Structure 1
Amino acid sequence: MNRLNHNTLGVLQEQSAAELPFTESHFCRQLCMAGEKYGISVIVFHAGLIDWDTRTVKAYTYRKNAWKQQHFPLPTLIYNRLSRSHHERCDQLHIRNSLQQLYREDVQWLSRPLPGKWNLYRALSRFDFVKTYLPKTYPYHGPRSLLRIIKQQNGSVFLKPSGGQHGRSVLHIEAAAYATSSPWSPTSVTITGRTKQNDHIDTHFTTMMDALRWVHQFIDGRQYVIQPYLTLLSQQKEPYDVRVLMQKDGSGHWQITGSAARVGSSGHLTSNLRGGGRAEPVESYLEQQFSRKQAENMLSSIAHISKQIPSAIESCYGRLVELGLDFGIDQKGRIWLLEVNSRPGRSVFSLTGNEKAIRLAVENPILYARNVMVRHLRRVCP
């Protein structure tokens, strides 16, 4: 069994220590069920399950209310659900080597990880339609680079990992009584945020030098970006943003699958659901924060820009099947594009009860995969 499989969608996941050895098992089960509904075979695997001698994979599929594992020919169409940092966290050499071999194969990728926030910012900055929505972004190159930007931003900046961490490992630095003439003189520096384990951070320093040293140790060689601190709070002083899920449909066109407001707890920096946030229907939530007319105009602007972003990103990085776009709205009503994620979650729609979005969020990747398969068959079967 050494032929490639042209009629199956392979879902490439990260390895897990759970009973099922891959991540997102609930979502993968939904994909398998949607595939059965639309006549598409869906298998789930991680790179360590590939046998390169036989070019097969010992993958999982969900049938008759149960997971089954068996050997399949290696699929040539793959829905890549790996995070950009997977290579860095993959400590098993044979899995890392197998993944690198898979990337060299002549397969079609339904999606792919995007680069880090700094490179993505530079790419998007080339497009005039989105430039004004982007917070100014700088790479972290050590304490001196951070100090320079703190000065530029009047003592208040936001740091976040270049790779998405679901709101973890973010920092807000607020320097009061900032001394521009002598940055190492005593001052009041407050740092709030979240650790890698998602624990809350609230620490204070009396000198800028101590604060910068602490931040540098916290970052610990990881890639970070620095941005101005934007006040993205509701009238109730809760952080919130607007998540928009863009997906290709069965005809290969980008559509808005759904949107929702994600609302964090008062005193926290982010609205991520994994950090204790909640989801609200976006229309009614924005109407609570602004007037109905303002809310309508904001959502119209967000929809307009959301429909333009995917093709711009594809022109830089190749084919994608979906994107999660996160927009912030400051207290003056200005809209900011905060995040672009090629591996978006879908739980906001379950939490808001948006049944249509719940269904489409799972079915659209399957329908688009079928579209790609049909086009492939037309090329090879004249």
Structure 2
Amino acid sequence: MLPKRVIGILTWREGERFEEPDYLRKLVQTGQELGAVVYLFSHQDVHVQDKKIKGFLPKPNGRWVSKWFPWPEVVIDRYRRRVREYIRLRNSDLFFFANSPFSKKWRVTKLLASDERVRRWIPETHVYAQGMVRSMLARHALVYVKPGNGTGGRSILRVEKRGKEYCLSGRDKKHAHHTARLDTAVGVEKWVKRWVEEQQIRDGNFLVQQGLELGLLRKHVVDVRLLIQKDECGEWSVTGCGVRIGENGSATSNLHGGGRAIPFEWFLSNRFGVEQAESIKSECYQLAYEVAKTLEDYFGRMMEFGLDIGVDVQGRAWLIEVNPKPGREVFRQMGDMQLYKMAIARPVQFALYLAKNQARFLSL
């Protein structure tokens, strides 16, 4: 009998506290069902001299048990915090990773905007600086100010010019809702400057991005969350997509901020008709494949991306954001448990594919 494949999942840990524990628990269990040894570990669990890892497995009571595990053949990186020890580990050659390190949102946006394969889908975006919001509002009636390394819809500010008035709304780091109405561009600059200073996340800069007319529903922000992943044969494949509808008056559609998810085809067909909805879906898929291949060219091997895609009132698709370590709750919220399970299984299936073919990849 062949020995089981060994897959490690690198993540942040403090004691028995893990980031995204529910998802990681399901990832380990899925790996076990696929016949592999799968465990969680963090930077402090690596014992190089003994070539062993202090790994963690979920217990039925919701807690975790630790034990010694053999060195992983492949490591899935789910670490979401850029701490020094993690960066040092990623820059070492200790492990064979399923996914390469990624970059900050601004660098990614700049790369995509300069690549002829994908730039037609990228809204105008600049690094925040004094005067930039005012300059962008002269060209666009709607702009967004957002952190270059944020996540979960936090600290994103919506700034809209309505006649002679400016309407601002956003959620802060703690998801509290803020609004303001101002009557001068100078007043807007001062308000935004204070927002950026208060909402700064670690060492990240802020971006100012062209707002899109995504009001497919009155008073709600609507966008598409698409998940594209490598499959068990190592090929890019769109797992699925759903429409996210933001809370009434919210600047984002994020599910953490009170948004809800509904099936893509149902919503788009009702809004644009079956034929145009099919065309929009086709464009979203094309966008996803081109973005995945382009980013892999720049950063090296990747295994999945969550894409936030805006569909404007004319039915044109725009890339809002790319996440290399995405969630998959959109499928559960839609009630599509088959897609949800596939979205969890695919990272492990791809890691197993890499483990079986590791010699070939290491020789490239």
Whether TM-score is above 0.5 comes out as yes
Q: Does 39-48 or 96-105 show the bigger shift?
A: 96-105
Contact 1:129–1:305 (CA under 8 A) maintained in structure 2: no
The aligned amino acid for 2:53 is V
Structure 2: unaligned runs, 5 residues or longer: none
Rate the CA distance shift 1:241–1:219 in 2: closer, same or farther, 3 A: same
Check whether the contact 2:130–2:193 (CA below 8 A) recurs between aligned residues: yes
Structure 1 unaligned segments of length 5 or more: list them: 1-5, 91-95, 179-187
Query: Which residue of structure 1 aligns with residue 322 of structure 2?
Result: 340
- Of 63, 75, 78, the match for 1:78: 75
Q: Which residue among 8, 32, 35 is the counterpart of 2:6? A: 8
Is residue 2:152 matched to residue 1:160? no
Cα distance change on mapping 1:113 and 1:286 into 2, 3 Å: farther
- The yes-or-no answer on 1:205 pairing with 2:182 is yes
Q: Report how far residue 379 of structure 1 moved.
A: 8.0
Q: TM-score, normalised by structure 2?
A: 0.89
Is 1:170 the counterpart of 2:156? The answer is: yes
Inter-CA distance 201–113: structure 2 relative to 1 (3 Å threshold): farther
Match status 1:150 vs 2:148: no
Aligned twin of 1:39:
35
- 1:50–1:98 CA contact under 8 A, matched in 2: no
Contact 2:53 2:68 in 1 (8 A): yes
Look up the match of 2:93.
105
* Deviation for aligned residue 1:340: 0.9
Q: 1:135 aligns to what?
A: 123
2:66 to 66, 69, 73: 69
Q: Distance in 1 between matches of 2:334 and 2:75?
A: 30
Query: Which has the higher mean CA deviation after the structures are superposed, 168-177 or 250-259?
Result: 168-177
Contact in 2 for aligned 1:193/1:200 (Cα 8 Å): yes
Matched, 1:317 2:278: no
**8 Å CA contact retained: 1:59, 1:69:** yes
Do the aligned partners of residues 258 and 61 (structure 1) sit closer, same or farther apart at CA in structure 2, a change above 3 Å counting?
same
Cα-to-partner distance string for 1:233-272 (whole Å, 9 max, x where unaligned): 1234321111111111111011111111111122111111
User: In structure 1, what is the Cα distance between the partners aligned to 2:245 and 2:30?
Assistant: 30
Q: TM-score, normalised by structure 1?
A: 0.85
CA RMSD of aligned residues (A): 2.5
Q: For each residue in 1:251-296, what CA deviation from the matched residue of structure 2 results, as whole angstroms up to 9, or x when unmatched?
A: 1011111111111122111111001000101100111211111111
- Provide the C-alpha distance between the structure 1 equivalents of 2:317 and 2:95, rounded to a whole number of angstroms: 38
1:110 deviates by 1.1
**Candidates 232, 254, 257, aligned match of 1:250:** 232
**Preserved CA contact (<8 Å) 2:121 2:287:** no
For the Cα contact (< 8 Å) 2:101–2:299, is it kept in 1?
A: no
In 1, Cα distance between equivalents of 2:151 and 2:318:
19
Q: Distance in 1 between matches of 2:102 and 2:359?
A: 28
Residues 310 and 107 of structure 1: CA distance in aligned 2, closer, same or farther (over 3 Å) = same
2:277 paired residue number = 295
Query: Aligned equivalents of 1:131 and 1:98: distance in 2?
Result: 32
Q: CA deviation at 1:27?
A: 1.3
After the TM superposition, which of the residue ranges 48-57 and 345-354 deviates more from structure 2? Answer: 48-57
Give the greater-gyration-radius structure (CA).
Answer: 1
Letter in 1 for 2:137: I
The 5-angstrom pairing of residues 114-125 of structure 1 reads 114-125=102-113
Between the aligned residues of both structures, percent identity stands at 29
Q: Deviations over 1:192-248 (max 9, x none)?
A: 111111111102334433432232232125411111221211234321111111111
How far does residue 342 in structure 1 lie from its aligned partner after superposition?
Answer: 0.5
**Which residue number corresponds to residue 24 of structure 2?**
28
2 CA distance for matches of 1:237 and 1:61? 44
Measure the CA separation in 1 of the matches of 2:190 and 2:22: 42
Per-residue CA deviation, residues 79-114 of structure 1 (Å, 9 max, x unaligned), is 11123xx22xx4xxxxx3365134313422112443
Q: Residue 239 of structure 2 contacts residue 339 of structure 2 at CA under 8 Å; is this kept in 1?
A: yes
Of 225-234 and 126-135, more deviation after overlay is shown by 126-135
Query: C-alpha offsets along residues 32-51 of structure 1, whole Å, 9 cap, x if unaligned?
Result: 12111222111102223334
**Cα 1:76–1:306 shift into 2, 3 Å:** same
Pairwise CA distance, 1:336: 0.9
